[in-house]
């Protein structure tokens, strides 16, 4: 039996109210996961091992950006939970890295 509000109408489940438009839609759900730029030692710096201690004298070329290699653990855990929940409701979903998503793909979802 559903809880009732004052006035006799049953209360709507907040979860169902929030997700209802998604469940009703014929479109698949696009989940976009951020992938931040992280920095790694460059090839020369990797060979230095323990001798590499960041300092004011360290050349900038020893540390280089690494694109599209990492995602936040929390973000990926949340995306995994969302994909599982959507699957239980027979709702198709797609997961993409933010750097690889086209604007048109976001507009369709």
pLDDT of residue 49: 60
- Strand-pairing partners, residue 38, are 66
pLDDT of residue 4: 56
DSSP secondary structure string for all residues of 17-62: HHHHHHHH-SSPEEEEE----EEEE-HHHHHHGGG----TTS-GGG
- Would residue 68 be called left, alpha or beta, if left means φ above 0 and alpha means ψ between -120 and 50 degrees? left
10-residue block means of pLDDT along the chain (109 residues)?
Answer: 61 89 92 85 64 58 77 90 95 89 74
CA distance 12 to 14: 6
CA distance 65 to 19: 38
pLDDT of residue 73: 86
Report pTM: 0.62
Neighbours of 103 (CB within 10 A): 7
pLDDT of residue 104: 73
């Amino acid at each position: 039996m559903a809880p009732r509000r004052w006035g006799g109408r049953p209360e709507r489940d907040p979860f169902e109210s929030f997700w209802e438009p998604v469940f009703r839609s014929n479109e698949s759900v696009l989940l976009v996961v951020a992938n931040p730029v992280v920095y790694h030692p460059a090839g020369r710096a990797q060979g230095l091992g323990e001798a590499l201690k960041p300092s004011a004298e360290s050349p900038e070329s020893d540390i280089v950006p690494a694109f599209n290699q990492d995602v936040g653990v929390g973000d990926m855990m949340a995306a995994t939970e969302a994909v599982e929940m959507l699957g239980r409701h027979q709702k198709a979903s797609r997961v993409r890295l933010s750097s690889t998503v086209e604007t048109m793909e976001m507009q369709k979802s």
